[in-house]
């Protein structure tokens, strides 16, 4: 009986300790959110730690996350950070009752880690550490307050136990019931203090969220943008530019379906009215442009396919849109870019840096500073108010979203974010294709089976697509009319398939007639390669 009782009390204490720790951490985080409303959403303790985790993650881990969780990878990450935090703060609370210093040290460590994470971000200023610092201090204060209230309540019991301190009342047999009795008022005190902390934290967190929402009036700014008609419209779409097959990727990818890849946890909120682009570095005449200036220059409209280096063979990270913007080459020539710069380093509002080879930006191709996508202002998650796009290059070396600064420089002088992580500095797209129809493991009735999909090799174009079944002879697919060398082409063909498991493979040839390589490669360091294939079940 007695033993049970003691164990129960021990367990009860651990539970209370855990709750106290979590309340303390939660209060700190709530304050951090409130302060982050002033210092910027990206400086919130959870988001800075999450961002640091992204930046520190080794490339294979990052690839795994993108592959496994896709666009939900950020949610998984934030949940992970929170889970670690909950466990550690519960532990801190349990330890703090008997060894306050140890519990406190855990919170201090979290605070310091948060501050470091916030101030070492690419675009960080020292003030970015404030939310985490205050969060750490607030968590400590609440922990102290709650533990003190809790201990106080246990004091009378300890006194009765004579020799041993409040630290080890478990060993005092025979006083258990007494302790529980006497401890009651303290429980009430602890309860009141806890409820008060939670209430204050809830108010702080809500206020923080509301204020952050006000900051993010960027959606309003976007809604107010009126894009002018293009001075240089996209060339008319040729007859047969698209192939209609149920389930094939549409020629134009709707904005809502357009893949999204970036490293941000909270979207940069840059109202168009506050945006400027500075062009400097190795140039004769640095330029600064406002959003209005961009619109007033007369806009160029082009259809361009964008793809991600992290796309696996047959993967979803590719799309085509009608972009509206101004030619990047013109801007750089106006600025008087020096012939010795071989890298255009761009920096985004969130501190991302991307290095683009200078030559393609200046060689007359449709490298754009884009403000419109498929007839709308850029969606916020695709870079509002402005982003880059350079046909022929993967996004990580050319498609800076929320871009605010362009610097003419040299590859041997500055390394951009992904290059520091050992990705290929140039990022020329590899010829690629994808089977959209049939879906993998689909059950299809025997007879004429339609196989269809897309193929892309931006700026080289696609000249042919071949498909084969069960490693039989290659057959030429029927291609949609090429719109330009910078966009993908849809393709289709049919096979007469007998019942059983059948495997289709596709290979495209680019505009130079070079076949997509069969050689399998992972995305790192310069893009995946290999022939996409799909296995299906043909039913009688």
Residues at the interface with ligand MTE (CB under 6 A): 258-263, 306, 308, 348, 350, 352, 382, 395-396, 399-402
We find the least distance from the C-beta atom of residue 33 to ligand MTE, in angstroms, to be 23
Q: From CA 211, how far away is CA 383, in angstroms rounded?
A: 22
We find the least distance from the C-beta atom of residue 198 to ligand MTE, in angstroms, to be 36
We find the least distance from the C-beta atom of residue 259 to ligand MTE, in angstroms, to be 5
Report which residue's Cβ sits closest to ligand MTE.
395
We find the least distance from the C-beta atom of residue 305 to ligand MTE, in angstroms, to be 11
* Contacts (CB under 5 A) with Mo ion, residues 301-330: 308
User: Which of these, 76, 28, 26, lies nearest to 50 by C-alpha position?
Assistant: 76
* Residue 430 binding: pick among Mo ion, ligand MTE, none (C-beta 5-8 Å cut-off by kind): none
* Residue 352 binding: pick among Mo ion, ligand MTE, none (C-beta 5-8 Å cut-off by kind): ligand MTE
Nearer to ligand MTE by Cβ, of 17 and 395: the residue is 395
User: Count of CB atoms within 10 A of residue 501's CB?
Assistant: 10
Q: Which of 393, 396, 417, 418 binds Mo ion (CB under 5 A)?
A: 396
Nearer to ligand MTE by Cβ, of 266 and 463: the residue is 266
Q: Which of 261, 404, 429, 449 binds Mo ion (CB under 5 A)?
A: 261
Nearer to ligand MTE by Cβ, of 39 and 305: the residue is 305
Q: How many residues lie near Mo ion (CB under 5 A)? A: 4
Q: From CA 48, how far away is CA 29, in angstroms rounded?
A: 12
We find the least distance from the C-beta atom of residue 34 to Mo ion, in angstroms, to be 34
* Residue 369 binding: pick among ligand MTE, Mo ion, none (C-beta 5-8 Å cut-off by kind): none
Sign of the four-CA dihedral 324, 325, 328, 334? positive
User: Which of these, 469, 505, 277, lies nearest to 383 by C-alpha position?
Assistant: 277
Nearer to ligand MTE by Cβ, of 246 and 256: the residue is 256
We find the least distance from the C-beta atom of residue 309 to ligand MTE, in angstroms, to be 7
Q: DSSP letter at 413?
A: T
We find the least distance from the C-beta atom of residue 145 to Mo ion, in angstroms, to be 47
Backbone φ and ψ for 362, nearest 5 degrees, come out as -105, -5
We find the least distance from the C-beta atom of residue 20 to ligand MTE, in angstroms, to be 39
* Residue 259 binding: pick among Mo ion, ligand MTE, none (C-beta 5-8 Å cut-off by kind): ligand MTE
Token digits for 94?
């349990």
Q: Check residue 418 for interaction with Mo ion (CB under 5 A).
A: no
Written as one string, the DSSP assignment of 232-294 is BPPPPPPTT-S---TTSPPSSPPGGGS----S-SS-----GGG-EEEEEESBSS-EEEEHHHH
Q: From CA 202, how far away is CA 205, in angstroms rounded?
A: 5
We find the least distance from the C-beta atom of residue 264 to ligand MTE, in angstroms, to be 6
Q: From CA 212, how far away is CA 210, in angstroms rounded?
A: 5
We find the least distance from the C-beta atom of residue 432 to Mo ion, in angstroms, to be 13
- Residue 289, beta-bridge partner list: 277
Classify strands 447-456 and 500-510 as parallel, antiparallel or unpaired.
unpaired
User: Count of CB atoms within 10 A of residue 327's CB?
Assistant: 21
Nearer to ligand MTE by Cβ, of 189 and 425: the residue is 425
Nearer to ligand MTE by Cβ, of 275 and 495: the residue is 275
Nearer to ligand MTE by Cβ, of 382 and 459: the residue is 382
Nearer to ligand MTE by Cβ, of 107 and 396: the residue is 396
We find the least distance from the C-beta atom of residue 289 to ligand MTE, in angstroms, to be 18
Any idea which residue has 């164990």 for tokens?
7
* Residue 402 binding: pick among ligand MTE, Mo ion, none (C-beta 5-8 Å cut-off by kind): ligand MTE
Nearer to ligand MTE by Cβ, of 40 and 169: the residue is 40
Return the range that interacts with Mo ion (CB under 5 A); candidates 101-109, 395-403, 462-470, 492-500. Answer: 395-403
We find the least distance from the C-beta atom of residue 382 to Mo ion, in angstroms, to be 13
Return the range that interacts with Mo ion (CB under 5 A); candidates 63-71, 333-341, 396-404, 442-450. Answer: 396-404
* Residue 400 binding: pick among Mo ion, ligand MTE, none (C-beta 5-8 Å cut-off by kind): ligand MTE
Nearer to Mo ion by Cβ, of 251 and 396: the residue is 396
User: Which of these, 430, 436, 485, 435, lies nearest to 462 by C-alpha position?
Assistant: 485
- Find the largest Cα–Cα distance for the chain: 96
User: Which of these, 366, 223, 386, 406, lies nearest to 290 by C-alpha position?
Assistant: 386
H/E stretch holding 54 reads helix 45-56
User: Burial letters for 258-294: b for 16+ Cβ neighbours within 10 Å, e otherwise?
Assistant: bbebbbbbbbbbbbbeebebebebbbeeebebebeeb
User: Burial letters for 193-224: b for 16+ Cβ neighbours within 10 Å, e otherwise?
Assistant: bbeebbeebeebbeebbebbeeebebeebbee
Burial class (CB in 10 A: 0-12, 13-18, 19+), 9: middle
Q: DSSP letter at 72?
A: G
* Residue 505 binding: pick among ligand MTE, Mo ion, none (C-beta 5-8 Å cut-off by kind): none
Nearer to Mo ion by Cβ, of 418 and 495: the residue is 418
Nearer to ligand MTE by Cβ, of 24 and 352: the residue is 352
Q: Which of 271, 372, 395, 523 binds Mo ion (CB under 5 A)?
A: 395
CB distance 455 to 462 below 8 Å: yes
Report which residue's Cβ sits closest to Mo ion.
308
* Residue 348 binding: pick among Mo ion, ligand MTE, none (C-beta 5-8 Å cut-off by kind): ligand MTE
Q: Check residue 93 for interaction with Mo ion (CB under 5 A).
A: no
**Angle, to 10 degrees, between the axis of helix 73-98 and the axis of helix 130-160?**
30
Question: Where on the chain is the footprint of Mo ion (CB under 5 A)?
Answer: 261, 308, 395-396
């Amino acid at each position: 009986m007695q033993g049970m009782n003691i164990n129960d009390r021990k367990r009860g204490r651990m539970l209370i300790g855990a709750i106290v720790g979590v309340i303390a951490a939660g209060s700190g985080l709530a304050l951090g959110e409130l302060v982050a409303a002033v210092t910027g959403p990206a400086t919130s303790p959870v988001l800075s730690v999450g961002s640091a985790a992204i930046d520190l993650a080794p490339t294979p881990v990052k690839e795994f996350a993108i592959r496994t969780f896709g666009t939900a990878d950020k949610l998984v990450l934030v949940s992970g950070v929170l889970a670690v935090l909950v466990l550690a703060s519960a532990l801190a609370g349990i330890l703090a009752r008997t060894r306050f210093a140890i519990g406190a040290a855990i919170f201090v460590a979290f605070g310091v880690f948060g501050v470091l994470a916030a101030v070492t971000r690419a675009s960080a200023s020292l003030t970015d550490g404030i939310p985490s610092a205050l969060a750490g201090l607030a968590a400590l204060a609440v922990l102290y307050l709650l533990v003190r209230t809790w201990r106080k309540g246990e004091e009378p019991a300890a006194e009765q136990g004579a020799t041993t301190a409040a630290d080890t009342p478990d060993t005092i047999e025979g006083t258990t019931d007494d302790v529980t009795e006497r401890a009651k008022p303290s429980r009430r005190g602890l309860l009141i203090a806890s409820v008060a902390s939670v209430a204050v934290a809830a108010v702080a967190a809500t206020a923080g969220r509301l204020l952050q929402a006000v900051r993010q009036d960027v959606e309003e700014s976007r809604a107010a943008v009126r894009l002018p008609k293009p001075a240089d419209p996209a060339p008319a779409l040729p007859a047969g530019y698209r192939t209609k097959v149920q389930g094939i990727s549409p020629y134009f990818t709707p904005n809502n379906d357009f893949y999204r890849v970036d490293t941000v946890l909270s979207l940069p909120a840059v109202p168009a009215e506050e945006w400027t682009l500075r062009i400097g570095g190795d140039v004769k005449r640095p330029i600064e442009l406002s959003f209005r200036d961009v619109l007033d220059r007369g806009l160029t409209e082009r259809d361009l396919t964008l793809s991600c280096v992290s796309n696996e063979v047959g993967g979803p990270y590719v799309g085509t849109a009608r972009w509206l913007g101004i030619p990047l080459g013109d801007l750089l020539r106006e600025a008087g870019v020096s012939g010795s710069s071989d890298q255009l380093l761009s920096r985004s509002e969130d501190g991302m840096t991307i290095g683009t080879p200078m030559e393609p930006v200046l060689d007359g191709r449709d490298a754009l500073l884009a403000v419109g996508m498929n007839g709308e202002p850029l969606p916020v998650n695709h870079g509002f108010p402005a982003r880059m796009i350079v046909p022929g290059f993967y996004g990580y070396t050319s498609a800076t979203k929320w871009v605010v600064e362009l610097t003419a420089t040299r590859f041997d002088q500055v390394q951009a974010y992904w290059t520091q992580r050992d990705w290929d500095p140039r990022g020329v797209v590899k010829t690629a294709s994808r089977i959209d129809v049939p879906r993998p493991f689909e059950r299809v009735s025997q007879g004429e089976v339609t196989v269809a999909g897309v193929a892309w090799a931006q700026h080289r174009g696609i000249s042919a697509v071949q498909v084969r079944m069960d490693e039989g002879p290659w057959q030429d697919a029927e291609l949609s009319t090429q719109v330009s060398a910078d966009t993908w082409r849809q393709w289709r063909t049919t096979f007469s398939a007998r019942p059983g498991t059948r495997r289709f493979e596709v290979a495209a040839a680019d505009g130079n007639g070079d076949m997509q390589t069969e050689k399998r490669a992972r995305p790192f360091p310069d893009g995946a390669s290999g022939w996409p294939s799909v296995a299906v079940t043909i039913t009688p």
